[in-house]
Amino acid sequence: MLACTSFNLSVFSFHLSVYTMPLKVPAGLPALQTIIDEGNAVEVLETPTAQTLRIALLNIMPMKETTEADFIRLLATSDQEIELTLMKLETHTPKHATPEHMQRYYKGFSELRDKHFDGLIITGAPIEKIEFEEVTYWPELCEIFAWAKINVTSTLFICWAAQAGLYQKFGIQKHLLPKKMFGIFPHSIACPDHPLFAGFDSTIYVPHSRHTEIHREDVVACPQVELLSESTQSGVYIMQEKGTRDFFITGHSEYALYTLDGEYKRDVAKGLPIELPLNYYRDNNPANGPVNLWQQTARKLFGNWLKHYCRLSRNFV
């Protein structure tokens, strides 16, 4: 095997047929109603227990509520009890979320720097074409990366955050693509016995939606990074920093079924150059709707991460 290595004013837990454990989130979070409207049974988790995993979500995607719902769906499918903390950057003001929303439901880094978490998820952001050092919140993000190394058991860097993490930690550059990588792509697993891939098929499907990429040769040339999964079409997918519980994930396993559909129709309406997302619509026809090729694998991915990489002996206060 690779070392390749609340409606109540407090809290809610969510269950679908696959939802088995409670999830605590900020009271009144609007994304909860999205989850309820999708058919989830709701039950209240009054108080986290000694077994509750503390997970932080640093959400730097523009549509905050959509991203909140995406990750709540996945985390709630795990068989782990979870307390979710929404984290925000303090050197960036979101354009698509109200100050009231951010103030009520999110905590800034200065409020969390003295806390410990079992897991941290850092999302992507639609700023791929900007050089990292030109991103206004780059210094704060780098500080969070360093903090996580000491205060977080396992971190997932998603999409642009994966590129940012690989660059900041190892100097691995991102590269502009000739056109948007857009669709659902098949991926192979280099290390089938790796705990992250427990229960996976030999080929897995993953959504990608990005304008930049990481070159495979740069990853394999880096002695601190292990390539775990990739695609002949969409390139490197999951990488792990050797000797750690930190993963860099270039795709969007968390995406809801109609996310790519919304992106495609938005760009068409704006007159932007966009192709049909590959391997997404039934018979390649938007009128037929998407085929769900990835969500079962996504549940396994996040479930395995929580079970095998976030769960440690509890020494945190």
> Which active-site residues does the annotation give?
159, 252, 254
Q: Read off the tokens for 236.
A: 């490197």
Taking each helix axis as running N to C, give the angle between helix 64-76 and helix 295-305, from 0 to 180 degrees, rounded to the nearest 10: 70
